Homo-oligomer: A and B are copies of this chain.
Amino acid sequence: MRAAARLFLTRSYVSVGVGEVCAAADVRKGSFYHFFPAKADLAIAVIDLHAAGLHERLDRSAHADPAAALFAIPDAIGEIQLGFEGRFGQVVGCPFGNLGTELATCEDAVRAHLSALFTSWVGKLAATCRRAADAGLLRAGTDPDRLAHLLLACAQGTIMLAKVDRSPAAAIPEALRELINAHLAEEVAA
């Protein structure tokens, strides 16, 4: 799974063959197919491996005060992206966005699995945005659920643009902080 995660991230899903994954992980094809009847099952396992890392980071700030919890979102995403940049020498994308973009129209089980994860993350982010709204931090008229969706979308788009533009990973949490700042009440932002 770790070998596949690395190969998918630095290339793409379709361009990496099962034989190549087995060679990189030093396992036989027979054992591979025992654990992953189809290549799509491997994609789902790789997604869950990355998802565990994101969950752990998002849950870390669950009990922080509302403002700290809100700004912990860019920090969590930034930490993951800086980690990839450190390992691979450049921004290589979000594992969920990469596989979602490549496979949503072709591998419906992968698409549905990612969609359920995105929904659960929007739910987590929405809970944080709702706490910020209840604490009077957000601009009047800000819908916490819509802001949560916008944060996830902006993270995905900013990561993709950084990958294509070869921008430093640090630009990603910075853009998310700007998005949050735009939604703060005037007296909080000032």
Interface residues of A (CB under 8 A from B): 10-12, 14-15, 90, 92-93, 97-98, 100-106, 111, 114-115, 118-119, 139, 141-142, 146, 149-150, 152-158, 160-161, 163-166, 175, 178-179, 181-183, 186, 189
Q: A150-B175, A154-B154 are in contact. Are A164 and B102 (CB under 8 A)?
A: no
Shortest distance between the CB of A129 and any CB in chain B (Å): 12
Closest B residue, CB atoms, query A165: B115
Q: A100-B164, A146-B178, A164-B118 are in contact. Are A15 and B106 (CB under 8 A)?
A: yes
- Roughly how many angstroms separate A71 CA and B98 CA in the complex, as a whole number? 29
Q: A100-B164, A101-B102, A105-B11 are in contact. Are A182 and B139 (CB under 8 A)?
A: yes
Question: A153 contacts which of B11, B102, B158 (Cβ < 8 Å)?
Answer: B158
- Roughly how many angstroms separate A175 CA and B153 CA in the complex, as a whole number? 9
Q: Can you give 8 contacting A-B residue pairs, CB < 8 Å?
A: A14-B14, A100-B160, A100-B163, A111-B166, A118-B165, A150-B179, A154-B154, A157-B157
Most B Cβ at <10 Å: residue of A11, A152, A161: A161
Question: A178 contacts which of B100, B114, B150, B156 (Cβ < 8 Å)?
Answer: B150
Question: A182 contacts which of B11, B102, B175, B183 (Cβ < 8 Å)?
Answer: B183
Residue contact B102 to A102, C-beta cutoff 8 Å: yes
Residue contact A105 to B10, C-beta cutoff 8 Å: yes
**Within 8 Å CB of A11, what residues of B?**
105-106
Q: A12-B106, A104-B93, A106-B15 are in contact. Are A161 and B150 (CB under 8 A)?
A: no
**Within 8 Å CB of A92, what residues of B?**
105
**Within 8 Å CB of A156, what residues of B?**
156-157, 160-161
